[in-house]
Amino acid sequence: MSACRVCEAIRMAEWYRRNSEKQKAAAASRYAKNRPLVIATMAKYRESNREAINDKISSYRRTPEGKRKKAEYDKAYAAKRPDVVAAHSRRYREKNPEKVLALTQARRADRLRAINLQDMEFLRFVAQEANRLAKARSALTGTPWEADHILPLRGRSVSGLHNPFNLQVIPRSINRRKSNRVPSSGI
């Protein structure tokens, strides 16, 4: 007497649950024996379905969970391989000078909009002193320091002004970690 489809599915699921370690070991053994063939088959599949795969990845990365996981992965990768990330950034700047220039110009425009022209001379003085202090601290400590805007000029939630009261001198590592976020106590 044969079982119905539902009963058979339940029975098989229970069997796999009881024998999961045995199944994992068998799958690993099959993979080890056929590794070159598996890799070639997967590469062929990826090549013939590149657009569908990229669409699926793109749509996942637009979700909050996908954005979070991608950010975590990028942060861990950058910490593990800073030389590779720096080389990639350098190649990008060399290949896309017009994009880099557009971003630089946008930042400059934001800075100009964020300046109180009446305080221009004082701002110039404070900015020069902050840069001198950063250079001196770098020489003394052996680690790079930078002048930074306390409230970023192009923050995600708030934008600060380019004025003497919004400047600070901090280590480069903290400045890079802070990026364009509003500072918190746990930087």
| More confident: 78 or 116 | 78
Once rounded to an integer, what is the mean pLDDT over residues 135-153?
91
- Would you say residue 88 has pLDDT above 90? yes
pLDDT digits (tens, 9 = 90+) for 107-136: 777 777 777 667 778 888 888 888 899 999
pLDDT value of position 185: 53
Average pLDDT estimate for 21-48: 94
Q: Per-residue pLDDT averaged across 15-32, rounded?
A: 93
Residue 105: its pLDDT value, please? 75
- For the segment 87-103, the average pLDDT, to the nearest whole number, is 90
pLDDT score for 1: 52
Q: For residue range 47-74, what is the model confidence (pLDDT) as tens digits?
A: 999 999 999 999 999 999 999 999 999 9
Place 186 in a pLDDT band, splitting at 50, 70 and 90.
Answer: very low
Q: Residues 166-174: contacts with CB within 8 Å, 24+ apart?
A: 167/126, 167/127, 167/130, 168/130, 169/130, 169/133, 169/134, 169/137, 169/145, 170/145, 170/146, 171/143, 171/144, 171/145, 171/146, 172/143, 172/144, 172/145, 172/146, 173/143
The pLDDT value given to residue 67: 92
Buried b (16+ CB within 10 A) or exposed e, 62-95: eeeeeeeeeeeeeeeeeeeeeeeeeeeeeeeeee
Judge whether residue 187 has pLDDT over 50.
no
pLDDT tens digit sequence for 151-172: 888 777 787 777 888 889 999 9
Chain mean pLDDT for the chain: 88
Mean pLDDT of 17-40: 94
